Structure 1
Amino acid sequence: MRKQWYYRLLFSYLPVFFIASSVVVIISIVSVRLTIGNEAKRVNEVATKQMLSSVDDALRSIDQLILKEILNNVAFDKFFDPAKETNKYLDSLEMSDRIRNIIHATPLIDSLYLYRYRDNIVLTRDERISLEQFPDKEFLMQTLRNPPKSKWSDLREVSEINVYSNEKIIRKVVTLTSKVPTISGGQGLIVVNVRPYAIQSMIEQMANAQYSLLDFVDMNNASIASIRETADAAGKIEKNRHSFVVSSEYTGWSMHSSINNDKVYGFSSAIFYICFASWVFAIAFGAYWIYVVTRRNYKPIEALTGRLEQFKAQKRLKLLGNEKHGEFDVIEAAIDQLIDQFDYQQLHREENKKYRQRKLLLELLEGNADRNDEWIAGMAEERYPSCIALVEIDHYAKFAATYNKRDQYLLKYAVECVFREVSQKHDMQIWAEWLQGNQMAVLFRCKKLDSKAEVISQEISDWVRENLDFTITIGVGMPVQEIEDIADSYESALKSVKMKFKLGSNRVIVSESIHHINEEELVVQPQTLRAIAQTFRQGDPRWSGILDEFVHQTTESNASKDNVLNMLNLVLFSVDREMGETSSDLKTIWKNGLGRLNEMMEPVETERELYQSFYKEMNEIFEAMNKRKDGNSQTALIYKVRSYLDERYEDPDMSLTELGDRFQINPSFLSRIFKEEIGVNITDYLIATRVEKAKQLLRDTQDTVQSISAKVGYVHAISFIRAFKKTTGLTPGEFRKISAEG
C-alpha cells in the first residue's frame, strides 16, 4: 500500500509534465515565429514611412528653395519682370550664375532652367536659348496646355545637348514646375529636374537590402528607385501578408515594401532547432527531477500513512462510525469537523459583536452610555466632533409590500454600504445601525466635521433616488463635542425627520435650517366644523370651500403631523355625527367611505399627500351620496324643495303651506323629512339663505338696509334686522362696517 501511493504520484506527474512541456515548446516556437514576422513587418512599415517622409522632405526643401528664390532674389525679378530689367544679357548672365549655385548647393538637383512667357526664352545654367530650339520644348508646351495637378511630374525622359561636346544626352528625371509669380504665374516657369539615382542613393543609405525589398514608383507605376539584395534581382514585389504600401500626400508617389522572408524565417528556423534541442534536454532533466523530488517528498506521506493506520483503530468510530473508510477519509472527516466548529464559533462571535454594537449605539442615543466601555472610552479620548443622521425610508408601507424580507434586508444593507463608502471617501468615521424597520441611525465622527455630514447625506440621497426604486429622507442633527451630548444630536435629527411632513420627502433636512421653527398647536373653531359637516350632509358644494380655508390655516401653521391628523379626525367626527341623522342608504355610503379615509390617513407621510388623498376620498363619498339622492324619489323631492328655496328666497309670501301646495305634499310631513335629510327645518334654512344673500349685498353694494331687506324677502326691515342679528350676532350696519374695514 505504501508503494502504491508512490507510483500513483510518480505516474500522475510525468504524463502531465511531458504533455505540458511539449505544448509549451510548440506554442513557444510558433509564437517566436509569428512574433519575429510581425515585428519585422512593423519595423519595415515604420522604416518605409520614415524613408518616404525623408524623400518628401528633400523634395519639399527644393520646392521651398525655389519659392524663396522667387520671392527674395533680385536676379529672378530682373529676368522675369521687364520693369526691373537693366541689361538683358547681364541679367541673364547673373541668373545663370545663380542657377549654377543652386545646382551645386543642392545635390538632388540634376538641372534647372527658367522659361519666360513674354519672349519664349529659356535660360539654363549654360545658355540662353529660344523655346523652339530648346530640347525639352515638348514638356513645356504640355505643361502650358494642361497644367499638372501636382508640382512634381512622374518619371519622364529628357534630352539635352552638351554645349561643349554637342552631344545629345537622354536621361530619366522627375520634374518640379513652379509658376512665376507663385500665385498668378503670368511671367514664366521655373523647371527643376531631379535624377532618380539621387533618390536611389538617399533610400539606399536608409534601407537594409538584406531584410527588406522596396520599390519607389510614381503615379503611373514607373519605378523611380528600387532596393534589392542583389542588383540583378529585378521584378515587382509580390503581395503577401508582410507587404506594405504607403503613398505620399505631397507627390502622389508610392513606396511598395516587403520583408525578405528567406532572411527573416531563416533566422527563426535556427531558433527552432535550438528550441527543440533545449526541449529534449528539459524533458530528460525534468523527468529525473520529478523522480528524485517525488521519492524525497513521499517519505513524510509514508510516515503519515503509518500513523493513520494506528489512528483508525482508535478514533474510527468517533469520526466515521462502523463503516470502512480510507486514511484520507478519516483526515477529511476530522478537518470537516474542525471547520464546522470554527464556522460556528466565528458566526457566534460576529452575532455577539453586532448585538453589542447596536446596544452601545442605542445607549449613546438615549444618553446612557457607559464611559467604562472600551469603545466608548476610546471615542471620549479622541474628542472628535460628532453628529447623528437619521435615515428614514419613504413610504415604508409600500416598500414592505413590494419586497419580501430577504430583498428588504439586501436593500437596507446596500444603503448602509453606500453610507460607509461615501463616508470613507470624505475621511469620515461612521457608525450605522438600523433602529427599526424604516429608520437607520448614523453616527458621524471626524476631526473637522463642518458640513461633511450634510454633504455625505445629500450624495447618498441622490444615489438612492437614481439607482433604487425607493427614496429616503435624512435628518441631520446638530454637531456636538462630548459623548454625553450625542443624545441631543439624536433628538434634533429626529425633529428634522419629522419635518418631512411639512417640507416633503426625498430630501436632506438639517437641524440648523429648522431650529427657528417651533411647533404650533392647531385649534379649529366649532362653527367651522359645523359648517363643513352641515354643507356636506346637505349636498352643498360649499363644503369644499370651507374645508379649503381650514386646510390653508393648517398649511400656514407649523403644526405637527399628529396635530393635523387630530384636526382632520375632528372634521370626520363632526361629519359622522351629522350623517347619523340621514337615511340608511346615505349612512352606509358614508360609513364605507369613512373606513377608507381612516386607512388612508395613517401611512401618509407628507402634508401634501395627506390633503390630496383626503380631498379625493371626500369628493368620491360626496358624489356617491349625490347619485344616491338623485335615485331616491323622496330624497330627490327634498333637494328640489331646497333648490326652489334657493331660487325663490326673495318671495315674502314663502311659507311651509305654499311649499306643500307647490309640491303636492303634506306640509308637516315635508317639514319632517326636510329636517331629516338636510339637518335643519325649512324655516331655519330659508332664514340662513336670506342672511347669506344679505351679507353679499352688504359687502358688494351700497344699498340701504331697507332696500336689502326687501330684496331678500322681508317686508319689514325690523324683521330683517332681528333675523340677521340672531344669525350673525351683528346688525346689518355693524356687519357692513366690519366688512369695509377688513
Structure 2
Amino acid sequence: MNIRSTTNKNRFMQGKEERIRKKWYYQLLLSYLPVFFIATSIIVIISFVGVRLTIGNEAKRVNEVATTQMLKNIDDALRSIDHLILKEILNNVAFDKFFDLSKETDKYLDSLEMSDRIRNIIHATPLIDSLYLYRFRDQIVLTRDERIAIEQFQDKDFLAKLLQNQQQSKWSDLREVTETNVVTNETITRKVLTLTSKVPTISGELGLIVVNVRPYAIQSMIDQMANSSYSLLDFVDKNNTTIASVRDAALPQEDRLANQTHSFTIRSSYTGWSLHSSINNSEVYGFSSAIYYGYFAFWIAAIAAGAYWIYLITRRNYKPVEALMGRLEKYKSEKSLQLLGSDKRGEFDYIEHALDHLIDRFDYQQRHVEEHVKLRQRKLLLDLLEGNFVDRNDEIVKNMLEEQGQACVIVVEIDAYEHFVELYNKHDQYLLRFVVENVCYEVSQEHGIQVWAEWVEGHQLAVLFQSRESASQVEATSWKLSQWVQDNLDFTVTIGIGSPAKSMGEVSGSYERALAAIKMKFKFGRNRVIRFNDLPETEEELIVQPKVLKMIAQSFRQGDTEWSRKLLDFVNQTTEAHAAKENVQHILQLLLFSMDREMSEVASELRAIWKKRLLRLNEGLDTHETEIELSQFYCSELNEAYEDIKQHKDEKSHTALMHRIKEHIDKEYIDPDLTLARLGEVFQINSSYLSRTFKEEIGMNVTDYIVVSRMEKAKQLLKDTQEAVQDISVQVGYTYTMSFIRVFKKTTGLTPGEYRRLSAEA
C-alpha cells in the first residue's frame, strides 16, 4: 500500500514539473507568433497599397504623355494642310491668275487650270475632303468641279457668316456641309472641319481659300495611335462637340463611365480643340490582379514557413531553459519558504532576486576598487612629475614602472583650446580627451612601450614613456599619435618631448623640458612634434630701437605709402629671431603704444577709427598660439586700419571733384572725343581711380553717364524739333549716325524714328 502511494505521488510530482516546464515554453512561443503575424501583415498591406498606387501613378503619367503626343500629331497633320495652302498661295501661279485681275490671261482657262490644281491637292492630301476658292471682286466660287456665283453656291451661308464675324481662329468647329455631285446630281450632307485662309495671307483683300477636312480621317489617326482597351478618348471642338472618340464598344455606357479614372484634358493652342482622355480601370488594374493573387499566396506560404521556423527555433533554444526551470522548481519546493517567504512567487522572481543581489554587490566593489586605483595612479604620477617623494614599494608603482630601461615624459597639448571649448560641450570634451588618451596607449603598445598617462590640465596630457629600447621610439610614437588625431578628429595636437630620464628622480626634469618644448609651439606652429633637444641652448632676446617704432608709427599717421613695407620688415625681423612668446608680445605692445601716441594728434573721427582697431589688436595678443598667426593678424588689422583712415580722408577730397567732372560731362557731351581717358587728362587723375570713384559717388560709371547724358539730350531734340536724325546725332556727340541709332535703341528699346512718332502721338 505504501509503495503504490509513493509511486502515485512521484507520478503526480513529475506531471506537475512537466506542466510547469511546458507552461513557459508555450508563453515564450505565443509571445513571438502574434508579433510575427502582425508585422508581416502590415508589411504586406503596405506593399499592396504601394504597388497599386505606383501602377496608378505610372498609368496616369503614361496617359498624359500619350495624350499630349497624340494631340501634337493631330495638330501637325492639320498644320501641314495650313502650310500647304500657304505654300500654294505664295508659289503657285494658277492662284495668282485666279485672284489677281492684273495677272489674269483667260478667265475660263485660268479657272480650269485652278480646278485641276484643286483636284491634285485633294488627291495628294487624304485628310482633305473638299476645297474651294472664293473671289471677292466678282463673288465667284471655284471648286474642283465647277465655277459658280456665290448666290448659287450651297455653302454661301458659311461664307457670309465668316465674312460677317471675322473669326479669330483659322479652323472652324464641326459643321455640316451640303454638296451636289455635278455628274450624278446627288446631294450629300456630311460633317466637316473647315480651314479658312486669306488671300493675300495678311490683308485678305482678294478672297478666301476654304478647305474642308474629313472628321473620320482624324478618327482614323486616333484609332491608329490609341488602344481602346486601355484608354478612353474624346476629341471635341470649342463647342464641346465630339469630332472623334475612342471607347470600349463592348461595355455599356454606364460601365464605361464607372471604369474611367485619371482623366486628363489638353487644349490645342493651334485649333482651340480639346482632347479628353481617361484610363480604363479594368484593364490597368486587371493586370495587377494576377500579381496580387500570386503575392497573397506567397505571403500565406511565407507566414506558414516563418511560423514553423519560429516553432523549431523556440523548441531548440528552450531546452537549456527547460532544464534550468526543472532544477529551480525542485529546489524551490524545498527552500522557497526560507528564501522568498511564500511559495506563490514565480521561478523568475527567485532568479531575479538572486541575480540583482549578486550584481549589486559586484558593481559596488568594482567601482570602489577602480576609483581608488585611478585616484592613486593620478596622485603618484603627479608626484613623479613634480619631483615629490614616491615609495617604490607601493604596489601601483611596481606595476606602472619598470626596473630597467629609461623613461621619457611627453606633453600632448590640444591646439586652439579656446575654440575646442566653444565647439564642444562638457560631455563631448571629456569623451574626446578619453579618445586621445586611449589612442596614446594603443600606439605605444604597438611599439612595445609602457605608458602612464594623466590629464594634468584641461588641454595638456602628461605621458610617461618607459622603454628598454632606443629613445627614438618615443618620437615615432608621438608622430603616430599626432597623425591619428589629425586624420580622425576635428582638432590637432602638438607634442613636446622631454629629455630621457635614467632614474625615477630625473622624471621631473624630463617633464619640465617637455613643457619648455611645448612653449616653442609659438615659434614652430601647431600640429608638430617638438623635441627639447632641438631647441636652441640660449633664448635670443629681441631688442628693437624706439626710433624704429616711432618711424613706423609716423609713417602710419602721415599716410606714407611706404608704411606697409616698413611694417613688413619689422614683422620679418621679429619672426626671424628665436624669441619667446612673452618677448614678442612685449615688442608688439610697444609698437601699439607708439602708434597710439602718434594717432592722439589726428582728428577725432580718425582717432575713433584707430581706437576701434586698437581694441581688437590688444584682444588678439593672447588669442593666437603661433607667431605666424599673431604676425598675420597684426599686419592684417593694421593695414585695414590704414585703409579705413585713408578712405575717410579720400572721401572728403574727391566728392567735389566728381561733381565737377559730372558738370563737365553735362556741358561737353557734344564732344565726340569725350571719353574716360580724355577726362583723366583734363582733370589730371588716373583713369581707373576716376572710374571707380565716380561710380561710388554718382552711382554709375563714367562711360554710362556720358551715354545717359547724350541720350537725354537726343530725346529732347527728337520731341521738340523736326531736325533729321543725322543732325541730332552730331549735336549729341556721335560722328556716325548708325552708332547713334544703335546706342539709342539699346538704351530706350526704340529707334529714334519710333521714339519721335510715339512722342508725337502722346
Q: TM-score range by the shorter chain?
A: 0.3 to 0.5
Structure 1 length-normalised TM:
0.46
Larger Rg computed on CA atoms = 1
Structure 2 length-normalised TM:
0.45
Considering Cα pairs closer than 8 Å and 6+ residues apart, tell me whether 1 or 2 has the greater RCO.
1
